Structure 1
Amino acid sequence: VSTDNAGIFIYQADDLSFIRKIDREAGLSVYHIRKCFQDRQSNIWIATSGGGIYKYAPSNFRHFDRETGLKGNRVYAVLQAGQSIIASNSEAGLVRIDTLGVRDTLDDARLLNVKIKALAEDTDGNTWIGTEGRGLFLAGISRRDSIVIDTSSQPVRIDTFHLQKPFVRILDESVGFHGRWIRKIVLNQDEVWIGTYSAGIYRFRYDVDDDRLYELKHFGRSEGINELLINDMLADTLGRIWYGTKKGHLGYIEKDKVHHLGNVLEQNTDIVSLCIKGEQLYLGTAGRGIWFSELYDTQDFVQLQGIKELTSNNIYQLIFDADGNLWAGTERGVDKIILNNVEQIQDLFHYNRNDGFLGIETCQNAAIRDRNDNLWFGTIYGLTRYQPLENKRVNIKPALAFESIEIFYEELDSVDPKLWFEQGRTLQLAPRENHLAFRYRTVDINNPEEIQYRWRLNQAPWSPWLEDNAINFAGLSYGDYLFEAQSRNEGWEESDVIGFRFNIARPLYEEPWFQRTVIGVIVLIIAGLIWRYIRRWKARNEAERSRLEMENHLLSLEQKALRLQMNPHFVFNVLNGIKAMSGGDTEKMHLTINKFATLLRAILNNSRQDHITLAQEVDTLRNYIEVEQLMATQPFNYEIEIEDSLDTEEILIPPMLIQPFVENAIRHGIMAVQREGELRIRFWQKDHYLYCAVTDNGIGINASRNGKKNTSHQSVALEVTRERIESLSGKESLQIEELIDPDGKVAGTKASFRLPVMTDY
């Protein structure tokens, strides 16, 4: 019911029972209401006269700030004291919140202009107050019995009165306590535990009546706490005091013995908050999220994960509600984390300004659960209470629609995508219209920044969930396409899938008939080029073949001529020798004639063949050497050594290949020395090659070259022979070297070469 001067009244529709009123306490500052209506997310929109438009969303949160009674917005610590809530309010002391509203408490000048970071209440109802820089305070009420004697009556009457007097005391060096920068206060039975910024931990007992501190003990580095900046402390059911530090260290104190566990997360991060549920210890960190472990296995911490992720990994507060749900305060609001039975995130709800959590960034460890199971969160913008009533949040399916469809950056405004998709219609596009852009959106008034989208094309796997609500497709090929998109809200409720069908026509060059025509033309062109190339290639080959045949014929004739040639000086000397023998040693003359005739016949026969057997070559060499012996002016010996494994009748070699080396060894080596000559010819086989070495004990190759005259025939023969050998066996197959004896003198010449083994089978 909207009114002109009293805001809005809400009644139950069936019985008209009053539910609540929307007024200034709910955030409505103008009471003259012109119109109100409810949207699909159960938000109530209120149009006022002169005050603009308000959005009212029923919420379990109630916020306290400067406008509702606080003296400042920052709330560093929260405590339940009896039926009241006490909160440290900026640097303006403490405030009390109860059924009477928000009011000051403990009006003490020493608690002003200082940050109160820790609050605790003991069993006597005294409030322990920890400050930054001013030390530890205790506030309470002292009770004394006073006796009153009335002597005016008979008999004399004696009455006892209980006097109560509030007090605020500071515990400093005067009572033996030296801590001034207090971070955390833990009361464990009658012991008081104080965590400090840089001095470690103190433990003591305190007698309020006598204002006396006793059994004081300090836990620092010498006691085993290696990192003294304490961020948070708490006590477990066994009475152990757990602590977390600025540099990520964890430990506990049991029976005055420190068990410092060190950097249990192996992460370079603060341990900001500690929380225990049952046998599990939870750690809230700065930048690394939430970790947990068994209380009795604190060397194996696991990061809290699940099907949803934390809104932020900067955890400032950790607290469990009455239903066992974990709440995490961050710089972005609070997360309500629902855990399964294996400590994994089963679901997660994030609350921020849009949900009534107006404080947004929470303050470190300023969170409590009161006796009514309400949760209180201290933030930098006030104090927020969460009342676990029936959840009023309506998590409905989001609605998704296309905002625009662009084809080559021009918006398509003649098509209704929703209607076309429902009717199964397809947009026909030209081949060049293959650049499309889709933009789509879900409107969520409560949490627009939590909306996520995904898309797919032609039933491909969905894209990841992202906040981006647009996608571009460039250079699509021809064919049928179906584009689909979907959204989800912060509760992971998914929208219906929307889609758009389109077809890109096949371009001309993709048409089968066009491709066949082009291929046919290309084949004809290639065939013509190949035919032309083959003709030219055949013509060139024919010319080259004719030229090579001519060269081969000339070379063959040249080789045969060389085979038939004998050194003219050698022939002349043989004939002169025979003539000289005719007047004397006729037997030697006949022997010489026979040897010479045999040699000439062998040369003539061999010159007609490309290859002869090694045995034939050896016989020719013997005839030649023996003729040279008969004609020589000084005697020399020769030896032809053939490896036993060689079959001279089967191995083939080119004819007249070795004779030039033998002739050179005799003429220019042995005949030039004044000692008995030695000529050695050796044949052996190795690795499919036939090796031959011609060795003499003449003057050496260098002296022979310097003294040669009229050797044009010999030089040509040797050069042709070298080319023949290298054509058969490759470069460097022929080696001619000078032999040196142990005294360093020239001992002769050695010519060696190799030929591929050839046989007649």
Structure 2
Amino acid sequence: MVKKPLLFALILLSSRLLAQHALEFAPSFRNYSTDQGLPHNLVYDIYQDKTGYIWVATNEGISRFNGYAFEQFRDTLYTNVTSVMTGAVTEDERGRLWYVDFQARVFYIENGIIHPYPYNSVIAAQKGKTDFFHGLMLKGAGEEIWLVSHANGGVLHLWGAGKYEHILQDSNNFLVFEKNGKSQLIAHFDPRFNTKKEYAITFHQAESTRFIRLPFDHQKRLEGGYSLNRLKDDRWCLFHAGTLYLLQHGALVWMRPTDKAPLSIYEEPDGALLVGYQQGGLARYRSLDDFRADKKEGDFLSGMTVSKIIRDREGGYWIGTQQQGLFYCQAWNTGSTVQIPALMGQNVAALAWDGQNRLFAGTETVHLFEVNIRDRQWKELMPLDVTFLRRLHFDPKSQTLGLAGQPSMFYQNDRWEKFHISKPVMGQPSLLHSQDLYPTTGHRSWISAAVGCLFRFSLDKPFVVEDVSNDRHQSPMRFYTLIEAPDGRVWASRNDGLFEWRKGSGVFRPELEHPAFLQPFLDIDVLPDSSLVFCPKGHGVVIWKPGSTEVTVIGANEGLPSGRIHALHVESDGVIWACTQKGLYKLSPIGRRRYRLDKFTVQHGLPSNTVNDVLTIGEDIWIATAKGFFCLRDRPSEVPVPAPLFAKILVNNVPYPTASSLNLPHDSADLVIEYLSLYYRSNGDIPYRFRLQKPGDDTLWTFTKQRQVYFSNLPPEAYRFEVQAQDDDGQWSPVSSLAFRIHPPWWATWWAISLFVMGLGLGIYSLYRYRTGQIVHESRLNEEMLRLERSALQAQMNPHFIFNCLNSIQNFILKNESDAAVLYLAKFAKLVRSSLNASVEGGVRLEEEVNMLNHYLNLEQLRFKEAFEYLISVDPFLDQAHTVLPPLIVQPFVENAVLHGMKGLKKDGLILIKFYPENGFLCVEVRDNGLGLRQDESKDAKGSLGGKITRRRLELLNDQSTKDAISIAYSTPESGTGTAVLIRLPLRLVNMSHPGFSE
């Protein structure tokens, strides 16, 4: 017989497991309270200024939020410890913030200091004992101000040197006052001070006044609170004494009774409304009609008084409450936290999906839930005696949920089932403990990765079909995860890398060797093309198709974090999701083994950057994080990170204005620059890079997350400090620049140095001029002597060359070879013309030099009766038309090769001439196969007149060069006969557009 307490417990547990609850969602809120530096948790007003700072009016003064910290400003009147009411904060055209405190005193903040309005005494004289001002409007930089009185509903207008007037005093119950169509003052006139005894709202706009009479139960006149909120299209929502009114264009549209006072209303561009209630939290309505019917889309911040709602320039929402300070929501419709109490703020470890409507989510401490996506219901599944959850997998064939943990369990037909494993050789069965489970193709067949072994088993049989265990003689092995691919092959992760588990044979490494295959990983999946996707430690995401030699690694260089990846998920279109401690990464294919990376973090609404698991179901992305369960509909719209602001500049611990350029004294030893980017999505986690440049420098960037940089002992110079901020997608903001100049001391200024230089110059001027004149005179003489000597040598060269040619013609005439003499004379004429042209120009093109050498060697062939052959070769990399060399430099060495090298030869003589470039030089090589240097020492080429003149010319050319660029080298070829001469000249190219030889 079952005892009653136990029966009651079983009934209670069953009812708990079967209980269905409505599935609700809430945006991911970030809370800022006194724990984060807010002066007080009671918030009245929120305002974003032109620069982008968020200002918060609290019960203990006003503070400014910069994305990192709340700032309160220095004052001497203790003004910033009194309440700053709603509607009492505004900004003038100079960017100064003005506010009114509860004691009806006006202040403005400039350069971090609170300044009182000069005519606060005038305001105090007009204020009644029970009165306060909670409306403020400015003109220009505060030349005129308007304040709304709470007691009499009128407007106090001040201008000039304390002049004032009352406008619309003793008005109706509510007053809307506008000036220039830009701002409005909204006030409530307490009925106890109303002398007209009528209930209406007054609109004073564009210098005209209109009244709207409202139905009102006079018995409720003093009951409840009041509020007046402006909507789009000249609509106003008024709440007073239990009645809600909608007004438009000066008329009442509708009214309804309500017991909740809407203190603040924000209307979205699509017409949806966010409504903050007094002690009623925050509600969202799809439309104004739903608001009229009180048909909420969602209810948030339950029980709190929401006093203000604004939307910042990034699209983020700021909600002020009177109990817990500020709440920030980056985006409303892009994603929401799943509102299951046991999952909220908890470490959700694993997810699974049945492929239809059921989604399963569990925490590390084994709180497990089934979520019906279609019906928007959830219920708790409480497995018994499970102490740790690692993974969830669903087998659609058998409709079974597998829980990998300590121990592992299986859920089917609304009940949990334990599995005891045993081997034929084992005795007592034991519970299955798994690191991971995966369903296989067999009926109710599963494979399991455990600490020291792999199991294959069926839920219909009480023993293991096959296992791979540690050999007791081997070091302990640990398996982490496994998968059965569509082709039936099983792949597993061991602490020493990737293995294939072959049925009946054990585990084997892949035949392909790769460093990533040697590292353990926590998850593995399969792409549509049967490629494996896994995440080895230190290698990011690795893609490999078994049998292929191609391995794709997507790691830190491609944008993935360097830490370990917890889980992977592959969509049917090949999109890969990677879960890390630094956010969720989406890898979308954009080509063969090429992927685009998108990152999802707390900046995109996630409760935490630690992502444990992910599933994609239709358009929804279900994400298990360390701080709750999140459903992401869409990535929030991209908002560029703004350029950093210079928040503070200290020079020797003295603050300087944060201007775009500064002039600093010479003793500016310590310089501190503080900067920040007003990018609230980042939650204070913004990477920066900065550099300090001098004119003409290209300094490398320094990367940091610090918001302050320190420079010491900078020398006097003009500097430019540049800084950029980076968003979560790696995009850099525009550059913010701060130019500053550190001036030198007076004795190092230009005028002091100039006077010193002038005084010194007067003392040495005469000596300087005298010595300079001597150097210039000697230089000109030396240059002229070199020029004349070179010209004289070149003039000697031409007659020497002509004499040799005429001597050859004379030999033909003496031997009665008249035909040869005539032919020789004709060719000689061409050669002479070319030689004279080269002498006049002072330089010869390579093609002309080759032509002259051809003419000359043709003449010598006639003279020697073709006892020798010659070959002139020019390297194709040389531009013969534009390469220039000194005239008659090569010809004397060719002449020596003919006269001395070919001497005594009757036939088979050979002269080779080569022109080629080498390391910026033009090399000319002249070879012959004649007697050689040793056999003709009496008539050595080095001792000939042409050779001496040429060497002297080269020496002079070297003297005029900046380095010893011209050289001659004699050698004997390897054959042992003949002579080789190598001439190295600077490689010069003439200007192609110029008829001369200017380079």
Shift of 1:217: 1.5
Matched, 1:446 2:681: yes
Equivalent position of 1:403 in the other structure: 647
What is the distance in 1 between the residues matched to 2:363 and 2:573?
29
What is the distance in 2 between the residues matched to 1:380 and 1:496?
34
Q: 2:439 aligns with which of 184, 187, 195?
A: 187
Shift of 1:285: 3.7
- Judged with a 3 Å threshold, the aligned counterparts in structure 2 of structure 1 residues 326 and 452 are, in CA distance, closer, same or farther, namely farther
Matched, 1:104 2:380: yes
What is the distance in 2 between the residues matched to 1:452 and 1:479?
25
Shift of 1:239: 1.9
What is the distance in 1 between the residues matched to 2:310 and 2:673?
33
Matched, 1:39 2:312: yes
Shift of 1:495: 2.7
Matched, 1:88 2:332: no
Q: Once the two structures are superposed, what CA deviation does each residue of 1:569-612 show, in whole Å capped at 9, x if it has no partner?
A: xxxxxxxxxxxxxxxxxxxxxxxxxxxxxxxxxxxxxxxxxxxx
Retained in 2: the 8 A contact 1:77–1:119? no
Report the AA paired with residue 202 of structure 1. F
- Judged with a 3 Å threshold, the aligned counterparts in structure 2 of structure 1 residues 368 and 516 are, in CA distance, closer, same or farther, namely same
- Judged with a 3 Å threshold, the aligned counterparts in structure 2 of structure 1 residues 472 and 186 are, in CA distance, closer, same or farther, namely same
Equivalent position of 2:581 in the other structure: 331
Equivalent position of 1:202 in the other structure: 455
Q: 1:28 aligns with which of 290, 296, 301?
A: 301
What is the distance in 2 between the residues matched to 1:466 and 1:502?
22
Retained in 2: the 8 A contact 1:271–1:285? yes
Equivalent position of 2:393 in the other structure: 119
Equivalent position of 2:486 in the other structure: 237
What is the distance in 1 between the residues matched to 2:677 and 2:710?
19
TM-score normalised by L of structure 1: 0.54
Equivalent position of 1:467 in the other structure: 705
Shift of 1:316: 0.8
Report the AA paired with residue 447 of structure 2. I
What is the distance in 1 between the residues matched to 2:366 and 2:724?
51
Retained in 1: the 8 A contact 2:584–2:600? yes
Q: Once the two structures are superposed, what CA deviation does each residue of 1:114-153 show, in whole Å capped at 9, x if it has no partner?
A: 5464433240213333332x3x544324xxxxxxxxxxxx
Shift of 1:402: 0.9
What is the distance in 1 between the residues matched to 2:590 and 2:560?
16
What is the distance in 2 between the residues matched to 1:80 and 1:466?
42
Retained in 2: the 8 A contact 1:291–1:301? no
- Judged with a 3 Å threshold, the aligned counterparts in structure 2 of structure 1 residues 515 and 197 are, in CA distance, closer, same or farther, namely farther
Shift of 1:506: 4.7
Retained in 2: the 8 A contact 1:311–1:335? no
Equivalent position of 1:638 in the other structure: none
Matched, 1:483 2:728: no
Equivalent position of 1:9 in the other structure: 284
SS of corresponding position for 2:704: coil
Shift of 1:227: 6.8
Retained in 2: the 8 A contact 1:227–1:249? no
What is the distance in 1 between the residues matched to 2:637 and 2:568?
23
Shift of 1:95: 2.0
SS of corresponding position for 1:450: coil
SS of corresponding position for 1:68: coil
What is the distance in 1 between the residues matched to 2:369 and 2:287?
36
Matched, 1:383 2:629: yes
| Paired residues for 1:240-251 under 5 Å | 240-245=489-494, 247-251=495-499
- Say which is worse superposed, 170-179 or 189-198, in terms of deviation: 170-179
Q: Once the two structures are superposed, what CA deviation does each residue of 1:457-487 show, in whole Å capped at 9, x if it has no partner?
A: 2462451443233333433344433333222
- Judged with a 3 Å threshold, the aligned counterparts in structure 2 of structure 1 residues 405 and 11 are, in CA distance, closer, same or farther, namely same
SS of corresponding position for 2:313: coil
Report the AA paired with residue 513 of structure 1. S
| Paired residues for 1:624-703 under 5 Å | none
Matched, 1:261 2:537: no
- Say which is worse superposed, 393-402 or 112-121, in terms of deviation: 112-121
Matched, 1:498 2:498: no
- Judged with a 3 Å threshold, the aligned counterparts in structure 2 of structure 1 residues 33 and 406 are, in CA distance, closer, same or farther, namely closer
Shift of 1:251: 1.2
Shift of 1:282: 2.8
Shift of 1:193: 3.5
Q: 1:290 aligns with which of 536, 540, 560?
A: 540
Matched, 1:53 2:288: no
| Paired residues for 1:549-628 under 5 Å | none
What is the distance in 1 between the residues matched to 2:567 and 2:292?
39
Shift of 1:38: 0.2
The share of aligned pairs that are identical, in percent, is: 14
Q: 2:757 aligns with which of 516, 533, 552?
A: 516
Report the AA paired with residue 502 of structure 1. F
Equivalent position of 1:62 in the other structure: 336
Shift of 1:515: 5.2
What is the distance in 2 between the residues matched to 1:14 and 1:503?
62
Report the AA paired with residue 39 of structure 1. D
- Judged with a 3 Å threshold, the aligned counterparts in structure 2 of structure 1 residues 358 and 43 are, in CA distance, closer, same or farther, namely same
Q: Once the two structures are superposed, what CA deviation does each residue of 1:673-723 show, in whole Å capped at 9, x if it has no partner?
A: xxxxxxxxxxxxxxxxxxxxxxxxxxxxxxxxxxxxxxxxxxxxxxxxxxx
Retained in 1: the 8 A contact 2:336–2:631? yes
Report the AA paired with residue 481 of structure 2. D
What is the distance in 2 between the residues matched to 1:267 and 1:185?
21
Matched, 1:216 2:454: no
Tell me how many residue pairs correspond in the alignment: 475
SS of corresponding position for 1:496: coil
What is the distance in 2 between the residues matched to 1:63 and 1:484?
40
Q: Once the two structures are superposed, what CA deviation does each residue of 1:697-750 show, in whole Å capped at 9, x if it has no partner?
A: xxxxxxxxxxxxxxxxxxxxxxxxxxxxxxxxxxxxxxxxxxxxxxxxxxxxxx
What is the distance in 2 between the residues matched to 1:522 and 1:320?
86
What is the distance in 2 between the residues matched to 1:10 and 1:495?
36
Q: 2:672 aligns with which of 430, 433, 437?
A: 437
- Judged with a 3 Å threshold, the aligned counterparts in structure 2 of structure 1 residues 486 and 61 are, in CA distance, closer, same or farther, namely same
- Judged with a 3 Å threshold, the aligned counterparts in structure 2 of structure 1 residues 169 and 436 are, in CA distance, closer, same or farther, namely closer
SS of corresponding position for 1:491: coil
SS of corresponding position for 1:396: coil
TM-score normalised by L of structure 2: 0.42
- Judged with a 3 Å threshold, the aligned counterparts in structure 2 of structure 1 residues 22 and 395 are, in CA distance, closer, same or farther, namely farther
- Judged with a 3 Å threshold, the aligned counterparts in structure 2 of structure 1 residues 264 and 405 are, in CA distance, closer, same or farther, namely same
